[in-house]
Structure 1
Amino acid sequence: MTAVRGGRAHDEERARVAAFRGSLELDSLVDIHTHFMPDRVLAKVWAYFDAAGPLVGRRWPIAYREEEQRRLELLRGFGVRAFTSLLYPHKPGMARWLNDWAADFSARTPDCLHSATFFAEPAALADVGRALSQGARLFKCHVQVGGFDPGDPLLDAVWGLLADTGTPVVTHCGSGPVAGAFTGPGPIAALLARHPGLRLVVAHLGMPEYEEFLGLAERHEHVMLDTTMAFTPFSEAAAPFPPAALPRLADLRERVLLGTDFPNIPYSYAEALEALEATGLGARWLRAVCHDNAARLFSL
């Protein structure tokens, strides 16, 4: 796999994505797992991937190492009508200023779903309340990078507020690519036992604990999953999705959402979509996942 480069490559990729959309009779896509960040934060994230840091564990070339405006042009060129600016702090004291940046970004980028984040710290409830008052429509919780227990008492009121307001939370809680102290289905099952109304979106289909997180979605009607990186050759090499679980994923059609991790992926956007198509789950499932479910969730 090579990083995407150059005008001709982008033109060819736009054509591949257009063909994918055309086969589904979709004018557009909705991608709920994309990343836009302050330049200096994104540079540090890219440097971490370049170095195959401990939470990455393998070579990970960034396919879309472009400046912000160019990345926006690329997404829009793929026909993505709505996307996110998912941010995540790795230490206390970061969440509020990240959220302020995200509020400004969404104000100047109308097709971005206003995103926010939080950390397990005493200021968490105030930070989340402030972000909601600014118009945040979804949150990102990165259990692996944050290194905190989602069941930390400092977050109990946060989860309660997000459940009460019906605000979706895209949560990296699976143990891929490298397990953390609080990743895996156990802490999330305990969280849902306390907050069963929480609109939790399990990122990466819960990779690699796919079946356990499918089980949580089957038991909790408000739990959803996103497809970020799932089924791509890059992910299948390390954490293959069990073929026997595909019928369960098919049955959850209305609670699976398209995610890609753009721009921080080591392959093309078209490849991510084609990998979903290769599951054989069919056009009805793909239309729901790639557009209709998120359009309904966010009233687009």
Structure 2
Amino acid sequence: MLAALLTVFVAAVGLGFLWLATQLQEARTQIDDQRQQIDDQQQRLDEQQEMIDRKEQFGAAMNDLYATVDPLVGLPYATIVPWYRVEDLADRAWIHRRNPAALDQEVADLQRLTSEISAHSAAVTAQAASNASGTAWEATLDSLGRGWVSTVFEDATPCGATALACVSGAEPFTVHVRADSRTDPTMTDWIRTGAAYHEYAHVLQFTNPQPTDDALASFGGDVETMADCYALTFLDGWSLDHKVAIDAYSYYEVNVGYGYTCDANQRQVIRDWVGRLGVTHQVVGG
């Protein structure tokens, strides 16, 4: 009987130890699970904070861009702020909003674009400010161009044999002028002024491609007659035909431009075109 009781007691003690060991193991497992859950939650929080940080960095970079662009709003040169690139960066940032590494790249690209706009603005302004020829050409282009247009006098211009001046798409803020136009006896400052208006129209054409394409339909696609029409519209008293006195009895007959005087409807097209030009403040990412 005693042996049986001892056997039962030992078995009970053994079961007790087994139960206790099981409970301890379950407790350890629960603790490990809780620690893992805490670690997982912390990792998610860290990842969320990292994404928040990147989004804030992108937002700060966008604010810097707007601070750079806002002083340029109203300048009649749309291409100095490539809004399509800004919109593309905003779209990419939204697509990569859960990818911090990709957002880092978008931030860097946006900062690079802001630097490009700022550097372009500073370089063009500095170049224009360095000109001091004292000619009607430059005085007119400085006034029309608000300091953004440079006048370069050259013995051999890229304009061709007969053109007084020209503007190229590669250098849309530079007007190349034949050096001898400053002393040509067939020219007056009035003619130089009108020719400068014509060349400034080319600056506007190159830096505002979409409105220009729309307006060109009224000029048969001819950028030169459109530029002539700009001068005829905005320079009071301007004509394409001039008489320049040689002496009291003789004069030069000087024809400036491309031989076509635009009509009232075309001049209204020019006014409407000018009204559409320039840098605007645009909201992106909306």
Range class of TM-score, shorter chain? under 0.3
TM-score (ref. length: structure 2): 0.23
Q: Which has the higher contact order (CA 8 A, sep 6+)?
A: 1
TM-score (ref. length: structure 1): 0.22
Structure exhibiting the larger radius of gyration computed from Cα positions: 2
Between structures 1 and 2, the one with greater helix share? 2
